[in-house]
Amino acid sequence: MTKGLWRLVSGAEKCPGTDAEAIEKWELRAEKAAGALYLNVTKEQRIHLDGIIDDPVKIWEKLAIVHISKKPGTRFNAYDDFFSIRKKEDESLQSLMTRIDEGMHQIQNLRPTGFSLSELDDELTCMAMIRALPDQYAHFTSSLLFLGRILDKTQLRDAFLAEEVNRRRRAEVDSALHSSSTTANSTHRRHFSY
């Protein structure tokens, strides 16, 4: 039933021009593709397909929007998983290569349209900056990973500098509070002589 439908779903195969018989065949295949997609989506997820259930290309695009977050944090996790792949003890080299190919395919699917090598270079630099931070920066780093569609080095450097200023300021305030509470406790002590 689904053989040969991917080209249609992916948008590579367009509806033929004016030949009525070719159009009819294409529409039948489009209906099969849309039906197959719709039937494989859970009832809870079908709400996303309202108004497009007869268009397999739009269904596929909508499912990608809903289920594939193309944010830097998602790509960062995919890169982390990718570079963590290790051969399992009983695994064949062929199986290892397949897992590596699948990991790269996942990374490619998470890239926004038009993602360039220059953007990749910047994003990898940003990822190295984030990954270099110790555990006490966990809240800061998790907020950075969801900034936008692309990690911007300038924006990230500004965030790093702001975080450093905030941490220094908090340390100064904490130190001042500690000093004032120590001073207050020592001046309010009563000395009793027995």
pLDDT at 118 over 50: yes
Mean pLDDT lowest among 14-18, 85-89, 93-97: 14-18
pLDDT at 115 over 50: yes
Which residue did the predictor score with more confidence, 183 or 62?
A: 62
Which residue did the predictor score with more confidence, 104 or 171?
A: 104
Say what the pLDDT of residue 182 is: 60
Question: Hey, what are 37's tokens?
Answer: 């997609």
pLDDT at 139 over 60: yes
Instruction: Determine what percent of the chain is predicted with pLDDT higher than 90.
Output: 21
Say what the pLDDT of residue 1 is: 46
pLDDT at 167 over 80: yes
Q: Quick one: average pLDDT of 165-184?
A: 75
Domain-wise residue ranges, the chain: 6-67, 72-182
Q: Against a cut of 0.85, is the pTM above it?
A: no
Q: Quick one: average pLDDT of 164-177?
A: 83
Contact 78, 107 (CB under 8 A): yes
Say what the pLDDT of residue 94 is: 96
Which residue did the predictor score with more confidence, 65 or 42?
A: 42
Say what the pLDDT of residue 90 is: 95
